């Protein structure tokens, strides 16, 4: 039996707000969310796995429009090459961002070292007085 979860349960387990979950569905990013007899959303294990992927892709800075395209392609047969290329292109963006952040982190480390040296120098001067 395929266990399903309510939108509240999914929100709590994923950290995504209920509004975000509804938006992803309206935007075509999440497909196939079933409804119970009362019209309430019920998320299957498959939908939960997809949401985890979506969440991870968003955490890399993937734009909504790109996610929409990826979700559309994932629902179509024969789109493996296009999906692969989309991920290759996004991975290149992520790698550029990592490089940029690595440079910033190095700058911050140099600034901290400068402060450490200045503070140590002042401490030595005070100790001599």
pLDDT in tens, 68-104: 999 999 999 999 999 999 999 999 999 999 999 999 9
- The CATH class of the 1-60 domain is mainly alpha
- Its pTM stands at 0.80
Is-contact 35 41, C-beta < 8 A? yes
Q: Can you count the helices (H) and strands (E) in the chain?
A: 5, 3
- Sequence ranges of the domains in the chain: 1-60, 76-129
Q: Half-sphere exposure (CA, 13 Å, Cβ side) for 128?
A: 6
Q: What is the pLDDT of residue 122?
A: 87
């Amino acid at each position: 039996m395929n266990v399903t979860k309510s939108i509240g349960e999914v929100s709590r387990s994923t950290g995504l707000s209920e509004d975000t979950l509804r938006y992803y569905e309206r935007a075509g990013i999440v497909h196939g969310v079933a409804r119970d007899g009362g019209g309430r959303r019920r998320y299957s294990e498959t939908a939960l796995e997809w949401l985890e992927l979506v969440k991870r892709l968003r955490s890399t800075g993937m734009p909504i429009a790109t996610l929409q395209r990826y979700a559309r392609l994932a629902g179509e047969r024969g789109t493996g090459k296009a999906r692969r290329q989309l991920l290759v292109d996004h991975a290149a963006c992520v790698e550029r961002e990592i490089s940029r952040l690595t440079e910033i982190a190095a700058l911050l480390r140099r600034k901290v070292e400068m402060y450490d040296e200045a503070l140590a120098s002042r401490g030595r001067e005070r100790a001599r007085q």
